Structure 1
Amino acid sequence: MGFRTAKGELVRAILFPKPLDFKFYRDAMKFILFLGCMAALGMTYSIVIYVKQGVYPIRIVVRVLDIITIIVPPALPAAMTVGTVFAQGRLKKKGIYCISPPRINFCGRLDVFCFDKTGTLTEDGLDMWGVLPIKNQGFCGVEEDPSKLEVGPFITCMATCHSLTVIDGELSGDPLDLIMFNSTKWVLDEPGKDSSKFDTIMPTVVRPCTKDTFTAENPFEVGIIRQFTFSSSVQRMSVITRTLSEEGMELYCKGAPEKIASLCLQDTVPHEFPDILHRYTIQGYRVIALAYKKLDPKLTWHQAQRISRDKVEFDMNFLGMIVLQNKLKLQTKPVIHKLRDAKIRTVMVTGDMIQTAISVARNCGMVPTKDRIIIVEASPPDAHSPASIKWVMAETPDEGTDTYTDSDYNEVRVHFSTKRSKFKI
């Protein structure tokens, strides 16, 4: 705890920054040492000449000191400090404040700026753009208001598959979960103090607030029994739920579209899924896929609390996708343009989908309009084939993909990435 945590180390680094060791200062000390050696040689030569000429000792000392002050200027450190203070004053007039003046010299040598995407280039919050539920093994169109959907697995997944909690009467949690849950207009009730004398386990309950689905005689309530939290390594999260007055439990899952589709029964994934996903991600939208499955009716409450996620997150039914919009900040474009005018390279480091990162980079001016972007897909060697590299066009007029050979590499501009997308802008 404390300073040993990741956030604690960040606070400690801010409060007690490490001393900066610039090559500029090291070279300056070498230069002064060289001048000192030259002054020592000059002093020795002058002393020998003056002694041979019979000059008075006091005059010899004065002449020798003159040589030191001429070769090694005593005002050199002060001049360097004055230069730094003057630079700090010019930055202050531009509205730029620096609490560590030595870092000004460091900033003057920067040639690359790396930006995160969400919260840095784009706004912190997301806006619900619409949902694409599945009907008759195909997408049934965009619904901008998810609360208008009929009560079923899709909207139930949106209302249950999250990590929200109630604090002081208000929902708190991940911003994406908040946007998703609030768009359903359902109600979340967390268990309170049990008035009975027996200890019972009460789950978190969600329910729609519309009159036709929530009545005193036949309420529609879903209890969240188990939660598998989101993990970047598996790119998904899921929950085990049970609906009131129904037998058995259900599993609802959300996450990266490609990952969710790979865990679903292939006959439940529409054949146009890759094209529609590409269409939205290339425009910069954030896309999340939903899925569910009915669990074994024999699964008990206590077994659900101990079961691992890999025992249930497979052979699911694909439900559809949620499309979220992440807008650029107003100051993003001007800052990127200023850096490009200053001949400073700008780089985006993100874990989002490749097409989403490309769209944001295009919109903010990080990647010029005329530049073509190539995705490099590398395959390691195996027992049946050697290692291979494939160049895939990220953007084409018909939103398809073009394949390039190694000979085309010199004609295009390639941008690589880190993290799971293997691409960087």
Structure 2
Amino acid sequence: MLPGDGELRASLRKLQREGYGVALICDRRPSALAVADVGIGLLGRSPGTPWAAHFLCGPDLAGACRLLDAVEAARTTSRRSARISSVGSAAALLLAAAGPGFGSSARAAMAVHAAMAFAMADGAWAAMTLARRPDPVPEQRTPWHAWPAEAVLSSLDSSASGLAREEAARRRAAGEEERGEPASPGFGRILLEELDNPLTPALAAGAGISAVLGSAVDAALIAAVLGVNASMSGVQRLGVDRALRRLVDLSAVRTRVRRPDADTPVPVSGDELVPGDVIALTAGDAVPADCRLLAAEDLEVDESSLTGESQLVAKSPAPSTAGAVADRYSMLYQGTVVAVGEGIAVVVATGDRTEIGRTTRLAPEQRRPGGVQTHLRRLTDVTLPLSLGAGVVLMVAQLLRGRTLGQALGPAVALTVGAVPEGLPFVATAAQLATARRLSARGALVRDPTTIEPLGRVDVLCFDKTGTLTEGRLRLRQVSDGVTARPLDDLTPRTREVVAAALRANPDHNGGRLPHPTDRAIMRGAEQLEMAPTEGVGEWERVDELPFEPSRGYHAVLGQAPEGQLLSVKGAPEILLDRCSRWTTDDGTADFDDAARAAVHEEVDRLARTGYRVLAVAERPASDRADLTESRIRDLRFVGLLGIADPIRPTAADAVVRLSAAGAQVIVITGDHPSTAEAVAAELGVLDGRVATGAELDEIADDRLAEEIAGIAVFARMSPEQKARVVRALRGAGRVVAVTGDGANDVPAIRLADVGIALGERATPAAREAADVVVTDNRIETIADAIAESRAMWRSTRNALAVLLGGNLGEVAFTVGAGLLSGRSPLNVRQLLLVNLLTDMLPAIALAIRSPEGATQEELLQEGPERSLGAVLGRDIAVRAATTAAAAQTAWLLARPLGTRGQTDTTGLVALVGTQLAQTVAAGGRDPLVVGAGLVSLAVLAFVVQTPGVSHFFGCRPLAPHGWAVALGTAVAFALVAAVLTRRLGVQNIADRSPGRHSDDSHTAAQAATNGV
């Protein structure tokens, strides 16, 4: 019963008092709609119009869903607009104060209007992006699985012979129009996303002020730096998207569809299907859409990609009343694979309306600010105020010396703009781009370079079992005589007899591929043992066989041996053991009495609990009858048991050990049976907690889930929703989570994780689309390599940031110090930008993109953001800032009595650049890219300084040999001082550390010293 109007108003006000912003969606109750913070009225559901609502939407809730989807986009756009407005107001104030009173209002209005136009354009772009999103997909409520096949065809207006081509084309066009075009980011959108950082508004405002003050070249230089940054990142993202699209296209499903005018099924692409199409499926086919079975013959389907269960599922066209997807035997679902048999089915859902589509939408993609972003934001929060403060100090000093506000504002703005580290976002982007390129060469395709940073911080890896930790293919692993099991590589003559009998009971494949995976596992095991069906019985020839059927539970073969006919049977123990009257013991053949039967059942249970699929094998001599019927499967002699399992990947155990040593907890999370999952975890050595099932998880409240998860190592029988809930709880506890999977059932967890990883060529298109990283070489160890490479990025980024930020702060200190001593700024805006271009672009980027040398993968796995970007980075910045400023100031003071004012300032400029380049080369060691970048920058500096026209353009003066000697001598001397200080501080840092600290906090300075700082 719905609450009354007064009760609803009281509930709304209670939520508002608790601090919630409340939205109400309804078709009437005007007083309650007026109370809500946001009232959304639905038209057409009841008489009248809910005029009290703030918004009016259609009756189908699609408009209301779109409105709620817009909340986050509106919040982000509002924050960005506020930042743009603040920058515009500050620029207006400066422009109004600069210059004569006449025209000050016009100059201020120009800045305000420019900011307003930019904010409006940004908001319009966000609105258009939101409008391009497809409408929400309604839930499928039609119980196709419970309807008779004839009713399904009637409801879909189809027939057993399928749809006519014209009708299929009409339905396909109607479906595309209804869904609309999905919103895919173009290059322009990517550029805007890359430019959305705290430095962009400040640099844009500075460029605008410089342009108004007559420095259009300065503005162009700033715009060029920002454009290169965004363009390079955008090109990388588009390239990765194209590569992923090629992967998806290559895995496109082909199927055969029935047409009334065609005698045989017509081959089509799976994405061309529409509801009502009738398709034919056989063993090996991938199911291209959600379908209702119309006919089936011995049909078994591998649904592990959807449910996580590695057992095959028998299908039947009879109606099913099961509620769980995994139990609906009358349905076939997109992404599953036909393993055995064949069937005819009618398509009931495609695209987003399939079970995979709904699974994909369970969890939106979420991304938290990472270590690099967080530290860069902190650095930005420090450097921007310092730059502004330095400009204010210089402006005040100029005013105190009697200069006008306009005369004082120019150098201040020049210092502020030149001191902003415009290369700061680019360094991190370049480092991530370079790492992404290196990973792509090693089999890990990164969709977005920003994924590199959280990948390096991962401390929890949730692995799916089937096809990820395991090979995804069944293998014969254990052979038992009914009492004792032995591995395949250590069989006795008696246990070899079990395999030989099972091989005789295998279907006749006539040189082709056996359809059932258990049969293939037995054949591969026999091939490994170099065994033939004749082993132990002499010449043997197949006479007749009874094929396996789910209702029968076994496969039987009648063969001719030298001593007569031999009946060989393999199948489910619970069926076959009841048909046995004798068994083989060490002393020969004995009665299969109750004690023997109990012992074998205990062995079956033991093997099943350790994760094996168990088959029983039995034989007996048979009469000369050439036919084989079910009535002859009796009085068998029990031979033994086969333990078949999906084996651990050969490299998985080593990769898990490496990841655990790096501080990353490994959790197994699967839809498979608890005993199977537990056995896999034990074999990998990660069973350091208890095993929990999805049913147990549902009994734990959300507020206790994070605490309970800490003691769980294996999650079994998990649905997609439950996997996503585990990931959400881990993230809520502050963990950085990576989820690895290959099936559609993994998609919600992959999307919700900090890093989603689709593993191998077997990954479904849905998993690849949702993943941040696609491991293309099917190797578990590639994940460990990717994490190590991502952590290595921090080493390179730290050196680049130290040079960049230390150099910029050194520029500020030198400019302010020399300005206070001489009463004027020693460097103009062009010179400051020249310094940044020569030191922040090629050299700093060369440091950022290089791969750390002399470090093993194990050492790199011990890296962490705090270790590389915390106190050590602050120390390096301080050392380099102090030595850079001291070098420039010393050279400037030494040059004052030796030349003109212009030559003195140029000497300080050369010393400033030279010190930073020398520190860059020292940090890069013998890396040829770093050395080359330093030499190129030095050559450009010499060209600019010594070429008369160019030198005058930048405000420099050509230097005599003694000027170069002073500048370069001080630069080298102070660069050496910086290296010595950094190394000594690093040694002291090691001495101050306790040996028991976490790896992310240890050995920081030692790594810095060995890194060539």
* TM-score of the pair, normalised by structure 1: 0.48
Higher helix share: 2
Pick the structure with more strand per residue: 1
The structure showing larger relative contact order (alpha-carbon pairs under 8 Å, at least 6 residues apart) is 1
Which has the larger Rg? 2
